[in-house]
Chain A
Amino acid sequence: GENVEQHPSTLSVQEGDSAVIKCTYSDSASNYFPWYKQELGKGPQLIIDIRSNVGEKKDQRIAVTLNKTAKHFSLHITETQPEDSAVYFCAASPFPGTASKLTFGTGTRLQVTL
């Protein structure tokens, strides 16, 4: 089955700096890569996703890049703010519609300090 590794497990940045979280996956059949943000005491919430036919996707201060050849994808957050502090999960699955095949990474706790 799919195996998704996520690094780092914790990340501390100063407000205004950039943060990068990296994930690697093992199954070349994976084509859908979402990122979820989990705030304290809440459930995970989708913040951005990318499909294998796209190399990069941006949404305001958040961007995701995908390298299918190397089997890795990354989340980039620019101009970090205190409200970006949360746990971030990457995930991979063959298709967006196959939720039962979605494999999550182990999570990254991001702390944005003032």
Chain B
Amino acid sequence: NAGVTQTPKFQVLKTGQSMTLQCAQDMNHEYMSWYRQDPGMGLRLIHYSVGAGITDQGEVPNGYNVSRSTTEDFPLRLLSAAPSQTSVYFCASRPGQTNTGELFFGEGSRLTVL
């Protein structure tokens, strides 16, 4: 029962490098999203997608790109990493049509930008 799987769990980058955080879910959820978690700031929404081919910006989208070519995958790309992007990143998903509201989170990816 995999749920939401994030890779890598840990990553260290140098300023200006690029990388992709991977997120995959096996629950056939239409909605997927990326959050960043910083001390004293809670969880802030970066980007989200309501289905394959559809993405939209959240509260803090600058410096990040996303795409949704399949229902299962929702990668988050950092094109030119900055120290301000040091954070723990969480992917979350949920069914498209639901009345429960529950978000299912992955275990997180800790990114350090030097």
Question: Chain A interface (Cβ within 8 Å of chain B)?
Answer: 4, 6, 9, 32, 34, 36, 41-46, 49, 89, 93, 95-97, 99-100, 102, 104-107
B99 / chain A contacts, CB cutoff of 8 Å: 96-97
Q: Does A44 lie within 8 Å of B48, measured CB to CB?
A: no
Count residues on chain B whose CB falls below 8 Å from chain A CBs: 26
Q: Does A96 lie within 8 Å of B42, measured CB to CB?
A: no
Contacts A44-B90, A46-B102, A96-B98; A105 near B42 (Cβ below 8 A):
yes
Minimum CB distance partner of A51 in chain B: B101
Taking the closest CB of chain A, its distance from the CB of B52, in whole angstroms, is: 17
Contacts A34-B101, A43-B4, A46-B102; A100 near B90 (Cβ below 8 A):
no
Q: Does A104 lie within 8 Å of B103, measured CB to CB?
A: no
Q: How many A-B residue pairs have CB under 8 A?
A: 61
Q: Does A106 lie within 8 Å of B40, measured CB to CB?
A: yes
Taking the closest CB of chain A, its distance from the CB of B65, in whole angstroms, is: 17
What are 8 A-B contacts with C-beta separation under 8 Å? A43-B106, A96-B98, A97-B99, A97-B101, A99-B48, A99-B94, A102-B103, A106-B42
Q: Does A43 lie within 8 Å of B107, measured CB to CB?
A: yes
A89 to B4, CA, bound (A): 20
| B71 sits at the interface (CB 8 A) | no
B94 / chain A contacts, CB cutoff of 8 Å: 99
B103 / chain A contacts, CB cutoff of 8 Å: 36, 44, 46, 99, 102
A28 to B82, CA, bound (A): 37
Contacts A42-B107, A43-B4, A89-B42; A100 near B56 (Cβ below 8 A):
yes
| B62 sits at the interface (CB 8 A) | no
Contacts A104-B42, A107-B42; A43 near B101 (Cβ below 8 A):
no
Q: Which of B50, B101, B103, B106 is packed against the most chain A CB atoms within 10 Å?
A: B101
Taking the closest CB of chain B, its distance from the CB of A105, in whole angstroms, is: 6
